[in-house]
Amino acid sequence: MKFSARSDNELVALAISSSDQKAFTLIVERYQSMIRQFLRRLTAGDYHLSDDLAQETFILAYQKLYTYKAKGSLKSWLHTIAYRQFLKQLKQHKTLELDDGQTILISEPQSALEADLLAEKLMLRLSPDERVVMTLFMSAGMSHSEIEAVTQMPLGTVKSHIQRAKVKLHKLIDKSQLVA
């Protein structure tokens, strides 16, 4: 079997049992962009901070890999670590809060990059809790119960945050001028 075709659980087992650097490197390669994008949304587009948090996430994941239990997906486990790193950063530095006076001009995205930048602008208007659940829901494609496991928020709270965020985002889009 080709090394890169191995399942997440096989790679974890290899990384733990033989301290196989190649196995963990493949895990990082599989999930690095997803975790960075997740953290970029949570940090409202702060690329430097999200890259730092992603690096801390994978360092911590490597150190704690032996604690991973295959009950949930590796993707959810890594998102949980990333989210906790984000919360730790938020507690240490209250600089991620947004000034409500900011205005956002929304134009029809012409590329994936423009759509990504637009999403980051819109995420600025959500609370950190709303940002995390919406990012996990929309970008990572997680179910409500997976989000509950990652964030440790009650299921009802997850659903409320998602609903509230959707309403806020729809209002922002409706109020903004769409430029062709």
Q: What is the pLDDT of residues 4-59, one digit of tens each?
A: 778 888 888 888 887 668 889 999 999 999 999 999 888 878 889 999 999 999 99
- Over the stretch 81-129, which tens digit does the pLDDT of each residue have? 999 999 888 777 654 444 444 444 444 445 555 556 666 777 778 888 9
Provide the pLDDT for residue 59: 94
Helix axes 144-151, 74-92, angle to 10 degrees: 50
- Mean pLDDT to the nearest integer, 136-158: 89
Distance between CA atoms of residues 51 and 40, nearest Å: 8
Distance between CA atoms of residues 61 and 28, nearest Å: 10
Residue 174: pLDDT over 70: no
Q: Which of 60-69, 96-105, 166-175 tops mean pLDDT? A: 60-69
- List, in order, residues 6 or more apart from 173 with CB less than 8 Å away: 106, 122
Integer angstrom CA distances of residue 81 from 22, 68, 114, 139, 144: 21, 11, 28, 17, 18
**Local confidence band at 175 (pLDDT 50, 70, 90 cut-offs):** low
Cβ atoms 40, 50 nearer than 8 A: yes
Provide the pLDDT for residue 70: 77
Distance between CA atoms of residues 122 and 35, nearest Å: 19
Nearest to 64 by CA among 86, 87, 85, 92: 85
In 45-154, which residue ranges form alpha helices assigned H by DSSP? 47-64, 74-92, 112-123, 128-134, 144-151
Integer angstrom CA distances of residue 20 from 14, 15, 65, 144: 6, 4, 12, 34
What domains, with CATH codes, occur in the chain? Answer: 3-179 (1.20.140.160)
Provide the pLDDT for residue 180: 33
- Mean pLDDT to the nearest integer, 67-91: 88
Provide the pLDDT for residue 154: 94
Provide the pLDDT for residue 111: 56
The C-alpha angle 42, 143, 107, rounded to 5 degrees, equals: 50
Residue 73: pLDDT over 80: yes
